[in-house]
Amino acid sequence: MNDDGIRQQIELLKIEHRDLDDAIAALQASPVADQLQIARMKRKKLAIKDRISILEDQLIPDIIA
C-alpha cells in the first residue's frame, strides 16, 4: 500500500473513532445505559486507535542513528 492509501485509511479510521466516541457519549448520557455495549464500543475504539498508530508508524521512515 502506498503512502496516499495509508493516509486515506488513517482518515477513515479517525472518522470511525470519532463516531464511536460520540455514540459512547450518547449511550452514557442515557439513563438506562447498557454497560456491556459501552464496554464493547470502548474496546473497538481502542483497537481502532491502535490500528491508526500502526499505520502512522508505516508513514515514518526508519532512521538508524
Tell me the pLDDT of the chain averaged across its residues: 92
Q: Which residue has the higher pLDDT, 24 or 1?
A: 24
Q: Is the pLDDT of residue 50 over 90?
A: yes
**What pLDDT, on a 0 to 100 scale, did the predictor assign at position 20?**
97
Question: Is pLDDT larger for residue 33 or for residue 20?
Answer: 20
Percent of the chain past pLDDT 70, that is, above it, reads 97
What is d(CA 5, CA 24) in angstroms, rounded to the nearest whole number?
A: 29
Q: How far is CA 20 from CA 26, 31, 52, 60, 61, in A?
A: 10, 19, 14, 27, 30
DSSP structure class, residue 61: P
How confident is residue 2, by pLDDT bands cut at 50, 70 and 90? confident
